[in-house]
Structure 1
Amino acid sequence: MSKQILKAYKIRLYPTEDQQIFFAKSFGCTRFIWNKMLNDKIEHYRETKTELKNTPAQYKTEFEWLKEVDSLALANVQQNLRSAYSKFFKQGSGFPKFKKKGIKDSYTTNNQKGTVSVTQSSVKLPKIGHIKAKIHRSINGLIKSATISKSPSGKYHVSLLVETMVDDLPKTHSNIGIDLGLTDFITLSDGLKVANPKFLSKLEIKMAKSQKILAKRRLVAKTQQRKLSESRNYQKQRLKVAKVYEKITNARKDFLHKLSFNLIKNHDVIAIEDLNIKGMVKNRKLAKAISDSSWSTFTAMLAYKSEWYGKELVKIDRWYPSSKTCSGCDHVLAKAELPLSVRSWQCPNCLQSNDRDINASINILNQGLRCLKNKTVGATGLA
């Protein structure tokens, strides 16, 4: 069965100097209009206790240079700010923050009657025209919007949101349970264990050295009373640090994408624990290892890919005792009987020998299938 989805394609851009200047203006204008509108909203609320309904258009008379950039980019800022306010008041999310230069520089424009398009070697954008690009795969579907961004390492990318059609993957009649871990990234109910690549740990020494040099060059610039933007040695080292971070991020995303798609392709039902990852990273001893594993990103990938390709993802209640329950007879150990250091144990009831992680993944699968069959509150189907 085919279905219509929204899919993002990220493409590397190679803008000319003039195009880079236009991007810099666009980043600056969208950042300015966000900060200005947010500040005016705050001040208006302090004075009147009511929300200010301001728009980018009303600022163009006073700040004429706003007319130099794509008006749709400014309109999207208004929508994003409105959405942030709505999430704060209705969903309890954090209050919108002011944006800083050089941190997540980006802007979003919409495709109106072909203003955003792709050729074999370029991407066309409003007010700037064709930009040289590296098109590594075909893009099929209707382009809805384009988000242009500049990475800390100085690279430009455009993320195209495309409305396209996808087909369900063939049914395999195979189900799998997944136990997330730190030593092994995942353990599957069929006994397979996938090692944790630990991308951050592998480059931790190189990262520490690069950051130490960067700190020294920052101190030198401060001693000489020079701005960091004018210190060429500092900027060179900043790029080196950014490239190390970028290498870690790219390697991690590549690993997660390939692993998640492989699981979706080969299994019809995937059961996984609904972990409180935000709470877990508050543990200072485990925070770095958990963040490096990117469990949240992996789970999110499984969720949207299962929806795309007609598979079922079931999340098990985080309080379900998957590790302490014997997969052979359902006997549950007391908490004191199975500390984290114990990696294998023998069931006192049926005498079955259990590998802690494999046993947990089998229990997760069984509980997932039960919840899926009974549609109980204990599992949340995200597919």
Structure 2
Amino acid sequence: TARLTNGTVFFEDCRHIVLPKLGRLRIKGAQQRLLDRQGETRIGTVSISKDAADRFFLSLQLGSDTPFVPKLSRTNRQIGIDLNTENFLIASDGRTVANPRYYRTIKGKLANAQRTLSRRQRRAKKEQRSLQESKNYQKQRLLVAKIHARVFDRRHDFLQRTSTALIKNHDLVVTEELRSKNLLKNHALAMSISDVGWRSFLCMLSYKAGLYGRQFITVSPKNTTQTCHDCGFVMGSDGTEKLTLADREWICPQCHVHHIRDYNAALNILEKGLQKQQKA
């Protein structure tokens, strides 16, 4: 087993690390694969942080002359992805990934916990006690934080697994540029857009593409939904009306091809990405 150390910080085994001043700490995580790596791995900056749910995290900056992930062979596959609120995504190969909607599953429980937290806050203020000294308030604050953390962890795990699968199985992944700030102005969709985690997902695709030697491209979303992939006709032109969010399926008035709205958009996104790749 390799010994990860920088002289003052080192792993005793896959479950224990020794830090200056703090001494020997028990940890959990995926560090066994680091200890099993061939070649030297150097530890740089070490940071310890605590989140609102009172969980402690250890972050290590690592350096090595050998790659941390193996180089992947080419798949000769490309994919375009349409992100939407109906599903999490629809791909140009016809696959659909459902939106897990993690926040909605705990919305009622969270609302009840936050109301209790507000009552305890008002009580402490009325009795002129600081919130730091109010044990009931701190206990409830921790409960609310743990509910939020549970949702974050589940969403983060879902995004990690989905992004890794897309990058590993395709040489080129194309998505539309994210403009969620504008979409959030639509209050009817704000919760769905915030819950889905699109921005984090695109960041994961970007850094994993660099990590695994794949290509990730974003394209302008302009007319990707309104354009017929078969003949190129754009809805809203020649006296036609633009598609609305309620129009999940439509028939092209020019070539009369029936389209599933988001699948057609994914095909257009892939085509735009291939054109952008050729120009680069």
Q: Same fold (TM over 0.5)?
A: yes
User: Matched residues in 2 for 1:266 and 1:260: separation?
Assistant: 10
Residue identity matched to 1:208:
A
> Per the alignment, do residues 252 and 135 of structure 1 end up closer, same or farther by CA in structure 2, a change over 3 Å counting?
closer
Structure-2 separation of matches of 1:154 and 1:317: 41
- CA apart distance, 1:124: 2.5
Match of residue 45 from structure 2:
145
RMSD over equivalenced CA pairs, Å: 1.7
For 1:365, the equivalent position in structure 2 comes to 270
Q: Would you say 1:343 and 2:236 are equivalent positions?
A: no
Amino acid at match of 2:28: K
CA distance in 2, matches of 1:277, 1:115: 44
Whether 1:328 and 2:221 are equivalent positions in the alignment is no
Shift of 1:233: 1.1
Task: Report runs of 4+ in structure 1 exceeding 6 Å deviation.
Answer: none
Identity of aligned residues (%): 38
Q: CA deviation at 1:162?
A: 1.8
| Cα-to-partner distance string for 1:256-315 (whole Å, 9 max, x where unaligned) | 000000101111111100122233223333222111111000000000001110111111
Do 2:6 and 2:44's aligned partners in 1 also have CA atoms closer than 8 Å?
no
Shift of 1:112: 9.0
- Give the structure 2 partner of residue 233 of structure 1: 136
Contact 2:184 2:190 in 1 (8 A): yes
The amino acid of 2:197's aligned partner reads: S
In structure 2, the residue matched to 1:21 is: none
Between the aligned partners of 2:203 and 2:251, the Cα distance in structure 1 is: 34
Matching of residues 109-258 of structure 1 within 5 Å: 113-120=6-13, 121-138=15-32, 139=34, 140=37, 141-164=41-64, 165=67, 166-258=69-161
Shift of 1:245: 0.4
CA contact (8 A) 1:122 1:135 kept: no
| Helix, strand or coil at the partner of 2:128 | coil
8 Å CA contact 2:81–2:173 kept in 1: the answer is yes
Q: Which runs of 5+ in 1 are unaligned?
A: 1-110, 376-383
Task: Give the alignment partner of residue 352 of structure 1, picking from 257, 266, 279.
Answer: 257
Unaligned runs of 5+ in 2: none
Q: Deviations over 1:54-82 (max 9, x none)?
A: xxxxxxxxxxxxxxxxxxxxxxxxxxxxx
Helix, strand or coil: the match of 1:308? helix
State how many pairs are aligned: 264
The structure with the largest helix share of the pair is: 1
Q: Which amino acid aligns with 1:152?
A: A
CA, structure 1 residues 272+194, in 2 after alignment: closer, same or farther (shift >3 Å)? same
1:268 to 159, 171, 186: 171
Equivalent AA in structure 2 for residue 276 of structure 1? R
CA 1:163–1:347: 2 relative to 1, 3 Å: same
- Cα deviation digits, residues 100-150 of structure 1 (max 9, x gap): xxxxxxxxxxx9942232232222223333222124432253222122111
Partners in 2 of 1:169 and 1:311 — Cα distance? 9
d(CA) in 2 for partners of 1:172 and 1:119?
Answer: 40
